[in-house]
Structure 1
Amino acid sequence: MFILLFFLIGFGFAVSGGVSMIIYLNVIPAGLSFQDYMQLPQAKGALIFFMLGIITMGFSLNKLTRIFVK
């Protein structure tokens, strides 16, 4: 049960980080370059949330498959 909660927390982190990075795409038409776009999510922390969520989900899926598939 704890692993499932861990998965859902990771999913929330991945969604919030991913949505924030998509929202930051609206900054590109405002005159910023692609390099500026790549620096913006790192500065705001969206990339950290996205990667933390992906890693957390991967860890919990690995544990869930070991529990349920024997």
Structure 2
Amino acid sequence: MESDPRCNGAPVQYTSLHIRVFGMRLWADGHTGWSAWKAIRKQHPKIAWLAAGYTVMLASIIVLGVLAQI
């Protein structure tokens, strides 16, 4: 990992969470997918569960919208 000169040599941590219509894309400490999900859950548990709940809610709305059109 690179260090930020403002942090006195402490490693830089990068976490990214993108929520889209068809799911989530996760990056954490250079990892993606399930490895990133585990790191995010460990470092930021409330944000992880909020993102998972939001994704489930979004998927439910899409499914209900499709079923309403049938």
Shorter-chain-normalised TM-score: which range? 0.3 to 0.5
Q: What's the TM-score once normalised by structure 2's chain length?
A: 0.43
Bigger Cα Rg: 2
Greater per-residue strand proportion: 2
Greater per-residue helix proportion: 1
